[in-house]
Homo-oligomer: A and B are copies of this chain.
Amino acid sequence: MNNRHVESAARLRDQLANKIPLASAMQLSVESWDGRQLEIAAPLAPNRNDKQTAFGGSLYSLAVLSCWGLFTMRLWEEGLECEVVIQEASASYLLPVANDMVSRCVLADDELWRSTMTQLRRRGRARIALDAEIFAGAEPAFRLRGRFIAFLPGIPEKRSVR
């Protein structure tokens, strides 16, 4: 990680630990961030269900936070302090997860990012679709596609939550 990425990862860690009690209860840890790919991990124990596999709500929350974290950090690294909220998501449960888990969200498309920035500067807000994946060993076990919106400070009419 270069210094800028180290700094935003530290800031994300702080937000997850101190601003979102459920993220803290899930014992999330930011594993890696290189400006394009974010990995957040969670141990199984606080995230298990009655079957001793990962609770569906934990898999979803972990994946959503990896997308939200990626979008938020990209904006920080553009010098922008936006409010980032989720609008909708679809989730697919493919395999049970019986171990600690890592969610990965990747934004490798520079063109997509440029058009998101253009939209944000022009309209004060921008939408983006992000995907996250959680593996059980080598196989994908959970997939999320989320639609997020970022608001520049001072933009009204935020009819959404994260």
Contacts and interface: CB of A to CB of B under 8 A. Distances in A.
Contact of A93 (B19, B85, B97): B85
Most buried by B among A21, A47, A83: A21
Q: Secondary structure of the A side of the interface?
A: mixed
Contacts of A90: 88-91
Given A86-B56, A88-B90, A96 B161 contact: yes
Interface stretch (A33-41, A58-66, A123-131): A58-66
A53 B86 CA distance: 12
Contacts of A26: 22
A92 interface: yes
A46 interface: yes
A56 B161 CA distance: 7
This chain's copy number in the assembly: 2
A10 interface: no
A153 interface: no
20 contacts: A19-B49, A20-B50, A21-B47, A22-B22, A22-B46, A22-B55, A23-B55, A23-B57, A51-B83, A51-B161, A55-B162, A60-B89, A85-B96, A88-B90, A89-B90, A93-B161, A93-B162, A94-B160, A96-B160, A142-B161
Interface of A: 15, 19-23, 25-26, 45-51, 53-61, 64-65, 68, 83, 85-97, 141-142, 158-162
